[in-house]
Chains A and B, each alone.
Chain A
Amino acid sequence: MTTTLTPTPVPTGTSTRRCGRLPSWGLSAVGALGLAAAGALPWLVNAYVISLAATALVMAVLAMSAQLLVGWAGLAPLGQAAYLVVGAYTAASIATATSLGPLQLLAATAAGAVAAAVTGLLAVRARGTTFLMVTFGLGELVHAAANQWAPGGSEGVHAPPVVALPGLPPMVRPGWVYLYVLACTLVIGVAVAILVRTRFALLLRGIAAHEPRVQAAGHHTGWMLLAAYTLAGGIAGAAGALAIAVTRYVSPADAAMGISALALAAALIGSGSMTGACAGAILLVAARDWASGLLGGHGPTLLGLAFLLLAYLPRHRLAGLTTRFPRRRT
Chain B
Amino acid sequence: MGGLVTPYTITALDGVAYGLLLFTIAAGLTLIVGVAGVFSMAHGTLYLAGAYLAWHLADGGWTGLALALAAAVVVGVLGGAGLAAAVRPLTDRPLDQVLATLGIAYIAADQFSAVFGAEPRSVDPPRAVAGSISLGDYQYPIYRLLFIAIGLAVVAALFWLVERSRVGAVVRAVVADPGMAAATGLRIGIVRTSVLAGGGALAVTAGVLGAPVIGPAPGVDTTILVYSLIVCVVGGLGSIRGALLAALGVGQILTLGVAIVPGAAAFILAAAMLAVLTVRHRTALPGRPS
Nearest B residue to A299 via CB reads B110
Chain A residues touching B, majority SS: helix
* A122 contacts B100, C-beta separation under 8 Å: no
Nearest A residue to B287 via CB reads A129
Which A residues from 98 to 119 make CB contacts under 8 A with B? Answer: none
Nearest B residue to A146 via CB reads B266
* A130 contacts B263, C-beta separation under 8 Å: no
Interface-facing stretch out of A89-97, A134-142, A155-163, A240-248: A134-142
Residues of A within 8 A of B226 (CB): 136-137, 140
User: With A and B bound together, what is the CA distance between A149 and B282 in angstroms?
Assistant: 32
Nearest A residue to B90 via CB reads A311
Residues of B within 8 A of A310 (CB): 96, 99, 103
Interface residue tally for chain B (C-beta within 8 Å): 43
Given A129-B98, A268-B95, A328-B93, CB of A134 within 8 Å of CB of B110:
no
Interface-facing stretch out of B55-63, B139-147, B205-213, B269-277: B269-277
A304 contacts B by Cβ under 8 Å: yes
Residues of A within 8 A of B290 (CB): 326-327
Chain B residues touching A, majority SS: helix
Chain A 142-154 interface 0/1 with B at a Cβ cutoff of 8 Å (1 = within): 0011001100000
B122 contacts A by Cβ under 8 Å: no
* B233 contacts A122, C-beta separation under 8 Å: no
Residues of A within 8 A of B204 (CB): none
User: With A and B bound together, what is the CA distance between A144 and B258 in angstroms?
Assistant: 13
* B285 contacts A130, C-beta separation under 8 Å: yes
Which A residues from 279 to 330 make CB contacts under 8 A with B? Answer: 298-301, 303-308, 310-312, 321, 325-328
B120 contacts A by Cβ under 8 Å: no
Interface residue tally for chain A (C-beta within 8 Å): 46
* B273 contacts A325, C-beta separation under 8 Å: no
* A304 contacts B104, C-beta separation under 8 Å: yes
* A149 contacts B263, C-beta separation under 8 Å: yes
- Measured CB to CB, the residues of A under 8 A from B are 76, 78, 121-122, 125-130, 132-134, 136-138, 140-141, 144-145, 148-149, 256-258, 261, 265, 268, 298-301, 303-308, 310-312, 321, 325-328
* New A-B contacts (10) at CB < 8 Å, excluding given A130-B282, A300-B106: A129-B287, A130-B285, A134-B277, A137-B229, A141-B266, A308-B100, A310-B103, A311-B93, A312-B89, A326-B290
